[in-house]
A and B are shown apart, each in its own frame.
Chain A
Amino acid sequence: DAGVIQSPRHEVTEMGQEVTLRCKPISGHDYLFWYRQTMMRGLELLIYFNNNVPIDDSGMPEDRFSAKMPNASFSTLKIQPSEPRDSAVYFCASRHTSTNYGYTFGSGTRLTVV
């Protein structure tokens, strides 16, 4: 298995632009998580899905952030409009129900908003 695949690896965008981050979870995994890593807050959970349904989005910072999972093999995290304070590394992780804490993380997308 190729693991959790995130794209792009790096994204540089101007303030006010829309940014879309993509994630392909491991085949068969029924949970998908979006985390954001910053120096101040560490790894911060933004939202997670179970069987493509959003379960908890309480970590989404504000309405500028949205996430979708249209099918079991694809999820997006969108920021519109982007702001410099959104600059961070965004990680996607997935797991199977049978492995309660067996999260597999992708390599992350480093987002820079200038």
Chain B
Amino acid sequence: DQQVKQNSPSLSVQEGRISILNCDYTNSMFDYFLWYKKYPAEGPTFLISISSIKDKNEDGRFTVFLNKSAKHLSLHIVPSQPGDSAVYFCAAAVRTDKLIFGTGTRLQVFP
């Protein structure tokens, strides 16, 4: 059973527009959420995170929103740039336990 789900395998966005990547989870015990970015032939790298006590965290062009009642989080990228083209993984954890990742969403930003 997949505790962290990313239902959109791919997303295509024009440069300069907003990219919204979505993630749903089933385990209400998760208290920390992260987004990782992965380029081809490289390992995933940390992008942004949010604690369950918050509903928003912002870092430059990247903002993560958390809706605990809906068990849903999203990553907003504004404005999108061609260099943002990558696979984005959502991940969650209970306290400092292991990270559980989703299936990933491939984002393509075109000119």
Instruction: Name A's B-contacting residues (CB within 8 A).
Output: 4, 33, 35, 39-45, 48, 56, 91, 93, 100-108
- Assess whether B89 is in contact with A103, with CB atoms less than 8 Å apart: no
Q: Which residues of B contact A101 (CB under 8 A)?
A: 32, 34, 46, 49, 93, 96, 99
Q: Mark B22-47 against chain A: 1 for CB-CB distance below 8 A, else 0.
A: 00000000001010000001111110
Residues of B within 8 A of A (CB): 2, 6, 32, 34, 41-46, 49, 89, 91, 93, 96, 98-104
**A33, A56, A103, A106 — most chain B CB neighbours (10 Å):** A103
- A40 pairs with B103, CB closer than 8 A: yes
- B98 near A4: Cβ-Cβ < 8 Å: no
Q: How far apart are the CA atoms of A16 and B89 in the complex, in Å?
A: 32
Q: Is the interface of B mostly helix, strand, loop or mixed?
A: loop
Some 14 contacts from A to B, beta carbons below 8 A apart, are A33-B98, A39-B103, A41-B2, A42-B89, A42-B101, A43-B101, A45-B100, A101-B34, A101-B49, A102-B46, A103-B99, A105-B45, A108-B41, A108-B42
Q: Counting chain B CB atoms within 10 Å of each CB, which of A42, A44, A107 scores highest?
A: A42
Q: A35-B101, A48-B98, A56-B98 are in contact. Are A4 and B43 (CB under 8 A)?
A: yes
Given contacts A41-B2, A42-B6, contact A91 B44 (CB under 8 A): yes
Q: How far is the CB of B53 from chain A (nearest CB, A)?
A: 15
B98 touches A105 (CB 8 A): no
CA A93 to CA B100, docked complex, whole Å: 13
A-B CB proximity, top 6 nearest: A105-B43, A42-B103, A43-B101, A100-B96, A105-B44, A42-B104
Provide the bound-state CA to CA distance between A108 and B44, in Å.
10
Residues of chain A within 8 A of B101, CB atoms compared: 35, 42-45
Alpha-carbon distance between A42 and B105 when the two chains are bound, in angstroms: 10
Q: Are A42 and B96 in contact (CB under 8 A)?
A: no
| Most chain A beta-carbon contacts within 10 A, residue among B44, B96, B102 | B44
Tell me which residues across on chain B come within 8 A of A108, comparing CB atoms: 41-43
Docked complex Cα distance between A56 and B99 (Å):
12
List of B residues within 8 angstroms of A100 by Cβ: 32, 96
